[in-house]
Amino acid sequence: GAGVSQTPSNKVTEKGKYVELRCDPISGHTALYWYRQSLGQGPEFLIYFQGTGAADDSGLPNDRFFAVRPEGSVSTLKIQRTERGDSAVYLCASTQGGPGNTQYFGPGTRLTVL
Amino acid sequence: GQNIDQPTEMTATEGAIVQINCTYQTSGFNGLFWYQQHAGEAPTFLSYNVLDGLEEKGRFSSFLSRSKGYSYLLLKELQMKDSASYLCAVRSLPGNTPLVFGKGTRLSVIA
């Protein structure tokens, strides 16, 4: 594909449920990032992967959040026991390096926890 | 701590020039980025500055002063389609490390 893709585009769930959000980075991009964006705010870092391993997960808000990237390409962000405060747009970005290591973003998944 | 400040909202007239300022205080500096984000869409990359000075790319230019912790994005010949949020972001660590974003400046272009 030409760009970063994310599925689903929208997810509505009930408080306490488990959700998985998927990110397909640009082919060949080695680094992958998850951010969370609330209304009227800039993206907030959650976790990033260099290859298959999580290089920095310091942005994950608590242990209900977990992410994997088992083959160094697709990544899944997993949220257990969702809470209303988890409602936000979850953005994924990837980069292959180069000048500035520019990150290219996907369209995001809008998560609504009722 | 990390702090990036930019105005919340700005309004400008079609055909005019607008400057969006960004100031930052971060633990380190390894580049500053500007992204454009239309409502409900992904942020799209506009510009990157790592050295002091002006980078020009068509109607958009971005300036950086590292000693002042300051950048601006300059948009010329404004068009209605430029109505969007503009995000300033800093990479504080070297390499492929994450970005720290400001809250964004919502620009409205009016006729």
If you average pLDDT over every residue of chain B, what do you get? 95
Compute the 3-state secondary structure of chain B and give helix, strand, coil in percent, each to the nearest 5: 5, 55, 45
The CA-based diameter of chain B, rounded to the nearest angstrom, is 43
Picking from B57, B53, B56, the residue whose alpha carbon sits closest to that of residue B71 is: B53
Partner-chain contact A50 B91, CB within 8 Å: no
pLDDT in tens, A74-92: 999 999 999 999 999 999 9
Reported confidence tier of residue A2, pLDDT bands at 50, 70, 90 = confident
Query: Which residues 20-39 of A have a C-beta within 8 angstroms of B?
Result: 30-31, 33, 35
What distance in Å separates the CA atoms of residue A2 and residue A62, rounded to the nearest whole number? 33
Report the helix count and the strand count for chain A, using DSSP H and E: 0, 11
Nearest CB partner across the interface for B48, out of A30, A42, A102: A102
Please give the structure tokens belonging to residue A19: 């959700």
In angstroms, rounded to a whole number, what is the distance separating the alpha carbons of residues A80 and B71? 40
Rounded to whole angstroms, the Cα distance separating A13 from B94 reads: 38
Q: What is the pLDDT of residues B22-55, one digit of tens each?
A: 999 998 999 999 999 999 899 999 999 999 999 9
